[in-house]
Structures are given as structure tokens and as C-alpha cells.
Structure 1
Amino acid sequence: MNTQLTSLLLSLAVGVTSPSVMAQQDTASTVNSQQDSTEQEWGDDNWGDDSWDDSGSDDNATVWHGFIEGGLGNRVGSDPVLNERFSPMDDATLADLRVRLETSGFVGNDRYALKADVYADGVEEGFRTDLREASYTMSPGEHTDLKLGQQVLTWGTGDLLFLNDMFPKDWQSFFSGRDTEYLKAPVVAAKASYYGDSASIDLVWMPNYTSDRYINGNRFSWFSPQVGQNVAAPEGRIDAEEPANSFANGEFATRISGSIDSTEWALYGYRGFQKQPNGLDSRGNAIFSRLNVLGASIRGNVGSGLANAEVAWHMAEDSDGNDPYLPNSQFRFLLGYERELLPKLTLGLQYYLEQTLDYHALEAASTSAYNPEEYRYLYTTRLNYRMWQDNLVWSLFAFYSPSDEDHYLRPSVSYRYNDNVSVVVGANIFEGAKPNTFFGQFEDGSNVYGRIRYAF
């Protein structure tokens, strides 16, 4: 497999990879988001998919609520690869009519939660369901919780950058203009948590492997190193077979965390598979190769702001780095800082480095013209300005990679008219000097979008 794809994929979100086999360089790190620093669109305040109004609820009562949302998005130009297809919606990136229903309550001291979406998708033409949560949480001991079922999981310190968060992401939703909460895809898991005096431990078992909802050629075209240009469905569709369900193929993740004074620290571990099919087997079929991850993070107050640092060692199946059809191991590093510049105006900055290990072995084994850079680095900037009692929010998130000479801009404006009605308009703008870099390959996918939501 072309390692350009592997690196592009593994670099957009340190835990994220990109759309397809040999289609992008590993951008898996470009997009993480912690619960307290997600994009400030209404409903994007955390990854828990909570709707706005839980007021008046009783801890012992079942609560029903939800929303109805319509969303439209369209390319700012056109994609010549997609225009060769048959659908009149090829220039659309978003055409959703969505209904969310959710409920939660208690059975004794145990809590249950259910969140489900039903929506009509005008881009891929069909009615779909998305079970966001169907979980049951109990407390076997005084300091222990056990959460079972479908749930959204996240950890790490990055803002839209994932180093140690190996839980599934939905890149099709993220790039097309859906609410940022949909970047985090749900997964069936058992999560056990122990809360100690000096440290806490989280253990997660995902019995069935769950990949990212990666770019597969349906909604966006992607760069294929094999043909040297962008491709799309049906010929360029990626539909890799996931690892068979078995205990040996289950995913395991762990976090040990604590704090010293006001500084938070954490250690992470993961055993499973790459989240996107960025490898090839002997027959040339796309595969999810095995992956182990070890990492650590720290976060605390520095001056008048909040600083964070995180590292991760991604140990790929090709431990020697000399198999051009499998991704290389990587070292990843993140440094971030956030502070309020003026009242209601906040600034967040991040520096991310991704080093492809055993790079000389890769160069010697590969005949591809699209190998990744040995060192890929990326800067991000987030600006948020709140007005009118926080009902109007202006936001800009920018990714810029000097090593790849490409960038990705996410401007948005959200307005909360009242407790029930909100409106969001925004854009996803990609540009790059070369068509094979992660952001550069999506230039023709640049789009503007709008959404209106009625919560009940």
C-alpha cells in the first residue's frame, strides 16, 4: 500500500485516518476534540450528544426530548470526478432531514439512556437510522461504575486532534457540514471505571471491531496513488471488510488518570486495529491492519490560560517499516494553549508533529511517487467570539500544514433564537499545493452549509 495514504490518513486526526486505502496520507491525528473544547455550534458543547433543555427533570423520572433538524450543503465549485456520475445531487454534500428522540431515567440507582436519529439523506438517497446511545450504567461498588451498550467514547487533550483517542470517528459527517457532535461515532462497548483517591482507571472493551466512517468515494472523491488522481464511486469506492468478530479481534483501551494540585495527567493504552483501511493484503484488497498505541498527556494552568501536551506511540503491524503495503509505526506529539484574549473572545493554538518511524526502510521498499514526509507538522487556530448573551457565536477553526503545503478552514456562525430554535451556517474550505496531500485532495469538496434545528 502506498504509505502516502497511510501518512495522510494518520495525520488528519491523530487517531483518525483518512478516507481510503492508498487514498490519503494518514491524517488520523488532525481531528480530535475534547469534551470541553469542541466547536461552538449549538448542540456541539460536548460529545455526549445532549440536547439543550434538561430543566425540570427529576432524577427518578424518565425524560423524553429531542429535535428536528434540516440541513443543506453544496460545493462551492464542482467535482469533475463526481460529475461523471449519474446523480443530480453530486454537487451537494449535505441534504438531511433528521429527527432525534432520546430518553433517560433510573432503575433504582442504575441509569439507562437511549438516543436515536432517523433521517432522510438526499445525497446518498435513502432513509437511515443512527443509534447514538443505548446504554445501561450501574455501580457494582462504592467507587466503581460499569457502563454497557452502545455509547459515544472520547478521551485525550487535543482540540479536533486525536492522538490516543482510538474510538471511531465519522469523517463523512464532519466534512459535509453536519453538527460536530457527529464526528464521534458510537460503538458497542463495556466501560468499567474505578475512582480512587490518587488516580482513576478506565477500562474499555469493544467486542466487535468498529472502524471510522471514513471517506469511501460516495460523498467525496479522494486521491488514489495507484492512478495518480482523484477517484469516486462506483469504481473508486472503498468498502473494506472489517476483521471478523472474535475475542482476539476485539478492541481494548485503557486510561489511568489523576491530578496533582491543578494539573491533570493521564496514561493511555490501546490494542486493536487501524481505524481506516490503509493497508493492502497479498491480493490487493484493502485491510485494517493491527495497531497498538501507548501514550500520555498533561493539562494545567499556565499564565492566564490552559496548556496541554500529549504524546503517542503508534506501533503498527509492520514493526520493521519495510512493507510498503502496510502503514509504518509513528510517533506523535501535540502541544496546545487556550486563553481568553478579550471578554467573550477566546483563542486556542495547537502544534502537532507526526514522525513516520523506520522511514529509510520505507523509502528503500517503496516504489511509490507519493510517499509521506518523514516529519509532518500541523498548526491549528481556534477563534470564538460570543455576543448577545452568548446567543450569537462566531467561530473559526483553521488547520495549516507547512510540510504538506495545504490547509483546511472551518468558519461558522450560530444563532440561538430561543430555547427551541437555532440556526447555523458555515463552510468547509480545503486547499493544497499538491493534489495528493490530505487537505489538498479535497479541494473540489469545499462546501458551504446551513442547518436549522427545533428542539423539543
Structure 2
Amino acid sequence: MFDPMPNVTNREEKDPASNFKNTEFAVRAYRDIAGFDASVYFYRGFYRKPYMIPDDLNNTTKITFHYPKLSVYGASLQGRALDGVLSFEAGYYDSRQDRKGIDYTVPNSQTKFLVGYQRQLWEDFTVGLQYFTEYMHDYAEYKKAQPGGLPKDRRTGQIATVRLTQLLMHQTMKLSLFSFYSTSEGDYLINPEIKYNFSDNIWAAIGANIFGGGERWSQFGQLDKNDNVYLQLRYEF
């Protein structure tokens, strides 16, 4: 994983205090609207990814990782359309600790969108497509606050996803190809896999994760040297 300060080894992680004010809370409401499953949801808590606070930007000797406060307001819609299944999702990520975007140790608020489509083209062959985009608010303030020498995120980011699935041998074998491609960063992940069900309880799979493109700090580009092949064997009861 990309580390902007690899020489600083004195590090600590600061979890949110365990008190009533920091209690995580989530709620979801849903109903059917004209054959579509519609939902609205709300979350109040913290970012799951820790963000770093250097003790001194000019001569950093210690880094503290913290979890900034976060609220999420979202909505989704899914139903049959265009001979397949169409889905939409949108969410506003409210960065409660820094709504003006002037603190480089706290992420800016963002708006995120996702549109997806899945369809069976022929017997036992399914195509799934998704397009995700995120927009950073207060981007001018973000650029001013970001210290020199650290990589800057883009105002907008986009990721396209493709999933191809073919079932064979009376649906006991599954061939799949799952791929991410960032149209904004140019990096990618390709995941081919073959899975075989020996019985209702035993299955095995072999696949690979192939990373590349982008920059050494981008989501998949930072894993460019971490290509791998895996083998799974599972017994379920």
C-alpha cells in the first residue's frame, strides 16, 4: 500500500472515545414504487478508513491515525427494466469534522452515484455492468490545504465494473471474469475465476488478481506488484 511517509515508524492509532455521543447509528426505510424496490437510508458514525495526523509537517517524527466523524444520507432504486435488472444508488457523505474542506487531516464531503445493469444474454450466461462516480465538495479549499509533496485526489473519480458469468455442466461449474477500471486514474483490477461444486457441501475455486495502471498511490495502481493466484477449497455444513 502507498505510504507518503515510509520513514516515520513512530505511529499510533486513536480510536473514537467509547461514549454515548460516539454511538454509531443507522436506519433504512424501503417500499415498492411501481415495481421498483426503493430505499432511503441514514448513517451517523465515523469513516472506516483511518486518516493520518503528522506531529510536524516540516520534521515529522510521529503519525497519529484517527477516524473522522461521518454522516451519510442515501437512496437507492432497483427493478426490472430493459430486459434485465436496473439499479441506481446515490449518497451524500457529510464530513462533519470539516464541512469547509480546510483541514487536510480530514476528508472533504462527497457526493457519490452508482448505476448498474444486469442481464442474461443466453442460457446460464449473465453480464453485469456498473458505473460509479464520486464528486469532492470544496475542492479549491482542499487544494489549498493539502501540504506540498503529498499526492492530491481528483475532484471527480469514476470506476467502471464488468462481471461476466457462465455456468456449465448442469450449473456445477462457474466461469467468471470480474474487472474494475478507473476511467479517471487509468488503473485496473482483473479477477478471472473458475469454481466447481463437487457436491452440495464441497466446492473449489482457482483464480487470479491482476493489478496495474495508474499512479503508485491510486486505488489499484499501488498494488501493481501484488498480482496473485489463489486456490480455495471449502466444506460447508
Cα deviations by residue, 1:5-33 (Å, 9 ceiling, x for unpaired): xxxxxxxxxxxxxxxxxxxxxxxxxxxxx
Paired position in structure 1 for 2:49: 276
Is the aligned partner of 1:408 residue 2:181? no
Partners of 1:279 and 1:310 lie apart in 2 by: 30
Q: 1:239 to 1:396 in 2, by over 3 A?
A: farther
Paired position in structure 2 for 1:362: 142
More displaced, 419-428 or 382-391? 419-428
Tell me the secondary structure at the aligned position of residue 362 of structure 1. Answer: helix
Partners of 2:12 and 2:118 lie apart in 1 by: 39
Is the aligned partner of 1:371 residue 2:152? yes
Counterpart amino acid of 1:263?
Answer: F
> How much does 1:324 deviate?
1.1
Paired position in structure 1 for 2:59: none
Cα deviations by residue, 1:153-173 (Å, 9 ceiling, x for unpaired): xxxxxxxxxxxxxxxxxxxxx
> How much does 1:440 deviate?
0.5
* Contact 1:281–1:287 (CA under 8 A) maintained in structure 2: no
> How much does 1:235 deviate?
4.2
Q: 1:435 to 1:420 in 2, by over 3 A?
A: same
* Contact 1:279–1:289 (CA under 8 A) maintained in structure 2: no
Paired position in structure 1 for 2:58: none
Is the aligned partner of 1:394 residue 2:158? no
Among 335, 345, 353, the residue aligned to 2:133: 353
Long gaps (5+) in structure 2 = 56-61
Cα deviations by residue, 1:271-296 (Å, 9 ceiling, x for unpaired): 00001102427674110000011011
Higher strand share: 2
Paired position in structure 1 for 2:164: 383
Which fold has the larger relative contact order, with Cα–Cα distance below 8 Å and residues 6 or more apart in sequence?
Answer: 1
Is the aligned partner of 1:332 residue 2:105? no
Partners of 2:209 and 2:232 lie apart in 1 by: 14
Tell me the secondary structure at the aligned position of residue 21 of structure 2. Answer: coil
Counterpart amino acid of 2:197?
Answer: R
> How much does 1:241 deviate?
2.9
Partners of 2:200 and 2:25 lie apart in 1 by: 40
* Contact 2:12–2:63 (CA under 8 A) maintained in structure 1: no
Paired position in structure 2 for 1:305: 84
Partners of 2:126 and 2:12 lie apart in 1 by: 41
Q: Percent identity over the alignment?
A: 34
More displaced, 394-403 or 418-427? 418-427
Partners of 1:273 and 1:455 lie apart in 2 by: 35
Long gaps (5+) in structure 1 = 1-221
Query: Structure 1: which 4+ aligned runs deviate by more than 3 Å?
Result: 281-284
> How much does 1:303 deviate?
1.8
| RMSD across aligned positions (CA) | 1.9
Partners of 1:224 and 1:244 lie apart in 2 by: 26
Partners of 1:400 and 1:332 lie apart in 2 by: 17
Paired position in structure 1 for 2:65: 286
> How much does 1:269 deviate?
0.4
Q: 1:420 to 1:300 in 2, by over 3 A?
A: closer
Partners of 1:389 and 1:416 lie apart in 2 by: 10
Matches within 5 A, 1:54-203: none
Is the aligned partner of 1:341 residue 2:121? yes
In the superposition, the TM-score normalised over structure 1's length comes to 0.48
Is the aligned partner of 1:417 residue 2:198? yes
Tell me the secondary structure at the aligned position of residue 142 of structure 2. Answer: helix
* Contact 2:214–2:220 (CA under 8 A) maintained in structure 1: no
